[in-house]
Chain A
């Protein structure tokens, strides 16, 4: 498993926003289309299937600057039943690609946990690439709020 440069960048940024109640951030470049295109680049045009991969994320972020997510893929992690990599996207961020995790048989299990910054309410998408050339996807919406008045 290794962290990409983009992911490390994602971790080191992340302070300013949301300090003032009511502040709204409107990310300019991000788009669902960019994410869809990046997924297709990752899969080489193969439409990912459902199942096998589970993305766990909070329904509402406690802190949009550091949102914990984890991903796991059902796999024997040997022979053809091997997860080669998992890519994570945040489809509302200025640059949707967040991290790519690479696995080998030595990994033992395809499990990864990280934290990411989410500028606004958006979908987090995880796609797993299997050694046999198949792909699996899971998606969760994470809400980012201004902050509440709970009872």
Chain B
């Protein structure tokens, strides 16, 4: 079994760890790149008959990105302090990763800007393609399953303009064996079905049912023969898609976790002779951690949705959980050794896709250039620049959303702004230009209207409590997987361990510091409402105007609107 100690060993063997002395000397990018090679990234304790490759939540990022890992990722109840609810030094200590090393940069925000300038961007589908091809060559095609966890078709300018077709065309070259999803549904049910038809491999979802007749709406299980082993892959789409996203865009389908359905499908797969059963999941990490204990017979869960990245697979109740991050930053790999119909051994790793170290695959690079060509000039158009780090990910706030809240309050003339707690959206380093591409990685979606409404203080608190309970309910089956709604115009205190209705306190207007009143009415602007018929300008147009006017933006990363009470 793979332990933390083994991981350290592996990391050392691979020559990943830069010495403390090296860090003290502030190594140049050239030195860092000299230390790290494509072969290092691919080095692996291969074993057994089956290799699973897991790629998830890339949010349409075809090109390499900066993506700052969260500084706050709180777990509650029985899940507090367990991966993935570890950040910064705690994360490094738990996984025995040396500060300043490439892994430290890939997984934490410690010294983020310095290390970003040292190690460069991560991801790029052409780099991922190189890794996938190399692993297929090493293992043989007959041993490898490549699984796409979804959230693949949304999150960029070109995905928005092509309604996801750019991603379908590029992903095809990776020859995935199966896919599940979440944001894919926000293209609307007709377009979704068109793209599933076009992609040429199964879209699996055990937990989507026809909303009228309550019958399974999709294929739930696909069987594969790999290395002489019969493998069943069961799909699980994001269970709360119709609640977290506009259900009117896909009214035919009802979702949910449906553990009893999953158990029946696992049992059916075993009865069909499957020696390995894999869940290709978009549940989110804690949901899958709980599910591993509720559903029996799952050997592996490759999990997505919450954008968590763990350097190796974790063992939970006899099930391996592999969480392969987001935005194309990583490729997850698990090798399974099957004896007598059981998993007798395994190796696992999450490969960080260091863009400057991996040679782009020419075929994929050409396809990316082709699908982007009609939009290339527009995506590269500079609309401003930033003096400070712009990022989104974290439980409570990020500077990108602070900027978006400012833009909404100014452009829609409101006292208060709300920006949804999405976990997608990349990072810009201080001094960077802001391009159309950058703006759309934060805002592109099919329901972008910025509303202007009036809410009472009591209504605002209800909304905050409701979202907060989606994030911090002690039962993971009631967590929907986003972060806390971001706010502008007021500050508040949050007690994550509290109960629904009592987590949010001390709401005060930012300017005056006055407490907000329950029965007073406030003007509120926000975007990405799940209601039908919302009116207002698209968030990307509003923010293009705002950033263009500002020309240079500057956000204080320490100006947190939220005081966390733990």
Establish whether residues A113 and B214, one from each chain, have CB atoms under 8 Å apart when the complex forms: yes
* Given A22-B455, A147-B530: A60 in contact with B243 (beta carbons within 8 A): yes
Q: Provide the A9-20 mask, 1 if CB < 8 A to any CB of B, else 0.
A: 000000000010
Q: Which residues of B contact A59 (CB under 8 A)?
A: 256-257, 475, 477-478
User: A94 interface residue, CB < 8 Å from B?
Assistant: no
Chain A residues with CB under 8 Å of B256's CB are 58-60, 62
Candidates B307, B459, B475, B530; contact of A151 at CB < 8 Å: B307
CB closest residue in chain B, given A150: B244
Q: List, in ascending order, chain B residues with CB within 8 A of A23's CB.
A: 459
A24 CA to B245 CA in the complex, in Å? 20
The answer to whether A62 and B424 touch (CB under 8 A), given A22-B463, A149-B528, is no
Contact, CB under 8 Å: A150 / B255: no
Contact with A along B390-425 (1 / 0, CB 8 A): 000000000000000000000000000000111110
Q: Determine whether the beta carbon of A22 is less than 8 Å from that of B460.
A: yes
A56: Cβ under 8 A from any B Cβ: yes
Residues of A within 8 A of B442 (CB): none
In the complex, A150 Cα to B528 Cα: how many Å?
10
- A147 contacts B243, CB within 8 Å? yes
What secondary structure prevails in chain B residues at the interface with A?
loop
List A contacts of B475 (CB < 8 A).
59
B243 touching A148, Cβ below 8 Å: yes
Main secondary structure of the interface of A (DSSP, over half): loop
Contact, CB under 8 Å: B254 / A62? yes
CB nearest neighbor in B for A148: B244
Q: Mark B451-489, 1 if CB is under 8 A from A, else 0.
A: 000010001101100110110000101101111010000
Which range holds the interface residue count of chain B?
A: 35 or more
Nearest chain-A residue to B244 (Cβ)?
Answer: A150
The answer to whether A148 and B529 touch across the interface, beta carbons within 8 angstroms, is no
Known: A59-B257, A68-B214, A146-B466. A151 touches B247 (CB 8 A): no
> Which A residues are in CB contact (< 8 Å) with B242?
62-63
Kindly identify, within residues 81 to 138 of chain A, every residue whose CB is under 8 Å from any CB belonging to chain B: 113, 121
**Which of A62, A143, A146, A148 has most B Cβ within 10 Å?**
A148
Contact of B483 among A19, A146, A151 (CB under 8 A): A151
Q: Restricting to A42-89, which residues have a CB under 8 Å from any CB of B? A: 56, 58-60, 62-63, 68
Contacts of A31 in B (CB 8 A): none
Q: Are A150 and B482 in contact (CB under 8 A)?
A: yes
Residues of B within 8 A of A113 (CB): 214
> Which residues does chain B contribute within 8 Å of A21, judged by CB atoms?
459, 463, 529, 531
- Closest residue of A by beta carbon distance from B419: A149
| A145 close to B (CB within 8 Å) | yes
CB distance from B297 to the nearest CB of A (A): 19
Which residues of B have CB within 8 Å of A62? 242-243, 247, 254-256
Say yes or no: B305 contacts A151, CB within 8 Å: yes
Judge whether B240 and A147 touch: CB under 8 Å: no
A137 to B443, CA, bound (A): 48
Residue from B182, B247, B481, B528 within 8 A of A63 (CB atoms): B247
The 7 A-B pairs of least Cβ separation, nearest first, read A150-B244, A149-B420, A22-B459, A151-B482, A151-B423, A148-B244, A146-B466
11 contacting pairs across A/B (C-beta < 8 A): A21-B463, A21-B529, A22-B459, A56-B260, A59-B475, A60-B480, A62-B243, A147-B531, A149-B422, A150-B245, A151-B421
